[in-house]
Structure 1
Amino acid sequence: MLRLLIDHQTFSMQQYGGISRYFANIQHTSDVKKDIQSVVGILCTKNYYLKDYPAPLNNALGRWLLKKESRRFQWNMKYSKYLIQKNDFDILHPSYYDPYFLKYNKKPFVITVHDMIHEQFPEYFDPNDVYVRYKRLCIENADQIIAISESTSKDLQDILNVASNRITVIHHGYQMNINNSLPPEPESPVPTEKMYLLYVGDRRGYKNFPVFLSALTPLLKKDINLKLICAGGGHFAEAEIEMISRLTLQNQVSQISATDRELTSLYQNAKAFIFPSLYEGFGLPILEAFNCNCPVIASDQPCFKEIGEDAIAYFQPNDKHSILKTVEEVINNQNLRLNLITKGRLQLAKFPMDLCMDKTLSVYNKLVS
C-alpha cells in the first residue's frame, strides 16, 4: 500500500478555496481506495473541506488552543516537519510552495503548479513576495510536477525551462461538495430571478475587474433592472466603491460572500457567468457554471479555451467594446444561451473527479515503482 503525506500549508491558510479543495479531494479519495493511505500534516484546521479529518487536535479544544491563525500555522508546520523527519511515508505532496521541507525530506515529492500568474504578471504583485522564489525552488527540486492545464504546462516550460518529461498534465475534476453534506441554508436571501449577471472570486489586478465593470456600464445604464452580483472576493475596496459611485451603479452592483450552497443558487439563477481575467491556470468556476446550467462568457485566453472549447462565448479582455458586445449577444439571444448551456453540460462530462484522482494516484505509483 502506498503511503502518502500531504503537508499542512494550504489547510493552515485557507478556510475555503480551490487549492485546499483539491488536496482535500486527494485525501478523501485515499480514504476509499484500498491501495493508498494518506496522512495530512495538521494538528488542527479551520478548513471547511477537512472539518471532520481526525487530526490530533481537530476538535473544539484544539480550535480554542490554536484559535490564532499564526499560532495554528506555526504548530501545524512543526507537526508536518515531525512527520517528514519520521520518514514513515512513500510520497510527499506539499500543498503549497514553502520549501521548508527540502532539508528534511528523504522521499520523492510531487508539487502541483496551479498557475504561473506571478511570473506572467509580476506588476500586479508585491515585489517582495517570497513565494515566487519558493515556488521555483519546489519546481526545481520536485521529482514530478503536476500542471493543472496544458496552458500551465507550456508556461512552466517557457518561463522556467522545465523539461516536458518532468510534467504531467492533470485537469481538475469537478465536484461541488467533497462530502455528502452541504453547508447550512443561506442566512441572506439569494436572488432567484434571472435579472443579474454573475462575477465570481477575487477582483484584483490580473482579474481585470475595473475594465470589465467599465465595459458593462452602458448595458447596466440601459436596463436599470439588470444587476451585477460579485460573489466572493471580499467586500468592495475603497477604490471599487469609488468607481461604482462614479459610474452611478450603487443600486445595480453588489457583493455577496457566498457559501457553496449560495453560489450554486447564484449560478442557477444568473443570466450568465462572466470571467474577464487576463490569465488563469485552470478556471474552476467555468465548470461550476456548466454544472448549474449557467451560460459562460469569458476572456479568449488559452486556458479558458482549453477548458471550455466551444461552450463559452469569448471576448477580448482588453477591449471594452468586445466585452460589451459579447455580453449583449448572450443575454439577448435565448437560442444562443440554450446552446451554450447544452454544450457546457457536454463539456463538463470531460472533467470527472475520478479521472483527476486516478491520474494523480498514477503519478505517485510511478515514482515508487
Structure 2
Amino acid sequence: MRVLFDGQIFELQKFGGISRYFTELINGINSYSAHQAICPIIYSENIHYSEKINPKIPILDQLNMMLELRFNIEKRKRYCTRKNGKGITKSLQSQNFDVFVPTYYDTDFLSDLRDKPFVLNVYDMIHEIFPSHLSSEDHIAIQKAKLIEKATKIIAISQSTKNDILKFHPKTDASKIDVVYLSHSLDNSEILELGLPANYILFVGNRGGYKNFAFFLNAIASLLLDTQGLFLVCAGGNAFNEDEGEMIKNLGLDEKVIQINFKDFELATYYKKAKCFVFPSAYEGFGIPVLEAMSCGCPVVLAAHSSFPEVAEDAGLYFELDNAEDLNQKVRALLEDENLRTHYSKKGIVQASKFSWEKTVADCVKVFKSALKS
C-alpha cells in the first residue's frame, strides 16, 4: 500500500504536536516492508521532519545545501514553498498511490484527487469551540467541514474529539470515524544540569487563549507567595508579552515566575525535576504534554474534562475546570505530601507505557486499509 502525504503541516509548523505525529507516522509506515509512505516535499525547516525523514534522503540534503548557498532565507522559503506545492500536485495527478492523507485542512487537493480515497485527521475542534480566540480571516472551520463531509475515513485522536466532530457535524456517519491515540517522543533516560530551581511547579508550551495560563497563574499566586523557595517555571512559549508581564507584576510574582525556552532534548529534565506539572488548558484534542510528564514520573494536575480522562485515566490529579480554589488545593496537596507525589508518579509511568508510536502507526495503517477497501 502506497500512502501519499501532502506535507503541508511541515510548512505550517517549525515544531509541534501535529508535525511530530506525522513525522512518526511517515517514518513508522516506511518500516513496514509491505507499505510505503510518500511525502514529496523537497525542503522543510520543521525540526521533527529534518531529524527523522530528511537525513534518509541524501539528495534532499544536497539540495538543501545548494539552496542555502543560492538564496537568502526569505527567497529560499518562497522558492521551496512553490517547489513543494508543485511536487504534491504532480504526485496527486500521477495517481501513483493508494490512499491520500492531508496533514492539515487545505482543500486544494480535492480537484486532483479524482476517485482515490483520502483519510482526514481531525486533531481537535478548537476552531469551532473557541471562534472568539481566532482571526475573522481564519477559515479552518469551513475547510474542515468540507473535508469531514468528503473524507473516506476520519481519524480522531481521542474519543472526545470524535464526540465533538459528531456534535458540530451531526450528519456525519459515526462509523467512518476511527479513534487513534497519539504518543510522545521524549527521551527521558538522562537528567541534565540546566540550572533549574530546586522547588518548582512546571507549565509547558503556549500560554494564550484556551491554554488558560492567566487563570492558572491567579489560582496558584497565593501558593507561590506563601511558600519560600517555590517557583513557577514556564518552559517554552517564548518570552512573556506585555499583558502577561503586567499580570505577573500586579500579583507580586516578579521573583517567582521564570520563563525559559528549551531544546527538545532538555524537556525531560524539566519534567523530572518538577514537583508537579499543571496542564490547565480548557480543551485539547489529546494533550501530548500529559503523556510526556507521566513518562518522566512527574505528577500531573489537570482538569477533568475534554480528552484528559482518556489520556491520564486515574494517573492524573484532577481539578474542576475554572475552579481556582480547587486547582490551588490540588497543587498544594502534591507539594505538601511526598507520598501523594510518589503515588501519582508511579501511576503516571504505568499509564504512559500504554501509549506508543508503534501502536499509533499500526492503528493508522488499519484505517488506511479500510479506506482502500471502501
Band the TM-score falls in, shorter-chain normalisation:
over 0.9
Residues in 1 aligned to 2:126 and 2:183: alpha-carbon distance in whole angstroms: 21
State how far apart, in whole Å, the 2-side matches of 1:63 and 1:200 are.
33
- Deviation of 1:191 (Å): 3.6
Q: What is residue 73 of structure 2 aligned with on the other side?
A: 67
Write the letter of the residue equivalent to 1:160. H
SS in 2 for 1:157: helix
The equivalent of 1:26 in structure 2 is 25
Match of 2:347 among 343, 346, 357: 343
In the alignment, what sits opposite 1:166? 176
> Secondary structure in 1 aligned to 2:42?
coil
1:122 deviates by 1.2
User: For 1:242, which of 243, 246, 254 is the aligned residue?
Assistant: 246
* Post-superposition offset of 1:31: 2.3
2:113 and 2:264 map into 1 onto residues whose CA distance is 36
Amino acid at match of 2:185: Q
Greater shift, 93-102 or 250-259, is seen at 250-259
2:327 aligned residue? 323
Secondary structure of 2:30 counterpart: helix
Partner of 2:108: 100
In the superposition, relative to structure 1, how do residues 71 and 331 fare at CA in structure 2: closer, same or farther (>3 Å)? farther
Q: Is the 8 A contact 1:42 1:55 kept in 2?
A: no
Task: Say if 2:120 is the partner of 1:111.
Answer: yes
Distance 2:105 2:311 in 1: 25
Matching residue's letter, 1:32:
S
Aligned to 2:222: 218
- Summarize the alignment of residues 248-259 of structure 1 with structure 2, pairs less than 5 Å apart: 248-259=252-263
Deviation at 1:226, TM superposition (A): 0.9
* Residue 91 (structure 2) aligns with: 83
State the Cα distance separating 1:120 from its structure 2 match: 1.0
What does the per-residue CA deviation read over 1:219-268, in whole Å, with 9 as the maximum and x for residues that have no partner?
Answer: 11112411111111222111111111111212211212211111111001
Give the match for residue 157 of structure 1.
Answer: 166
Q: In the alignment, residue 311 of structure 2 is paired with which amino acid?
A: I
CA deviation profile, 1:56-80 (whole Å, cap 9, x unmatched): 6442223454832444333322221
Residue in structure 2 matching 1:286, options 279, 290, 294: 290
SS, match of residue 240 in structure 2: coil
Superposed displacement of residue 299, structure 1: 1.2
Give how far 1:6 is off. 0.7
Residue in structure 1 matched with residue 307 of structure 2 by the alignment: 303
Q: 1:166 to 1:329 in 2, by over 3 A?
A: same
Aligned residue for 1:46?
45
Which residue identity does 2:161 align to in structure 1?
T
CA–CA distance in structure 2, aligned partners of residues 300 and 368 of structure 1: 37
Shift of 1:141: 1.1
- Separation (CA, whole Å) in 1 of partners of 2:34 and 2:354: 25
CA gap 1:109/1:348 in 2 versus in 1, 3 angstroms? same
Shift of the alpha carbon at 1:32? 1.4
Residues of 1 paired with 2:147 and 2:40: CA distance? 18
Question: SS state of the match for residue 185, structure 2?
Answer: coil
* Structure 2, gaps ≥5 residues long: none
Specify the SS of the correspondent of 1:273. Answer: strand
How far apart, CA to CA, are the structure 2 residues paired with 1:212 and 1:343?
24
TM-score norm. by structure 1 comes to: 0.93
Q: Aligned pair in 2 of structure 1 residues 70, 139: CA closer, same or farther (>3 Å)?
A: farther
2:186 counterpart residue number: 176
Distance in 1 (alpha carbons) for counterparts of 2:316 and 2:347? 8
Q: CA deviation at 1:368?
A: 2.0
The residue aligned with 2:152 is 143
Task: Work out the CA distance in 2 between the residues paired with 1:138 and 1:130.
Answer: 13
Tell me the TM-score normalized by structure 2.
0.92
Equivalenced residue count is: 361
Does the Cα contact within 8 Å between 1:12 and 1:72 map onto a contact in 2?
Answer: no
Q: Is the 8 A contact 2:25 2:357 kept in 1?
A: no
Instruction: Indicate if the aligned counterparts of 1:10 and 1:95 stay in contact, CA closer than 8 A.
Output: yes
Letter in 2 for 1:61: M
CA contact (8 A) 2:197 2:231 kept: no
**Aligned-partner SS, 2:203:** strand
* 2-structure distance, mates of 1:174, 1:137: 30
For 1:302, what is the secondary structure of its paired residue?
coil
Root mean square deviation, CA, Å: 2.0
- Looking at structure 1, the residues matched to 154 and 349 of structure 2 have their Cα atoms a distance apart, in angstroms, of 30
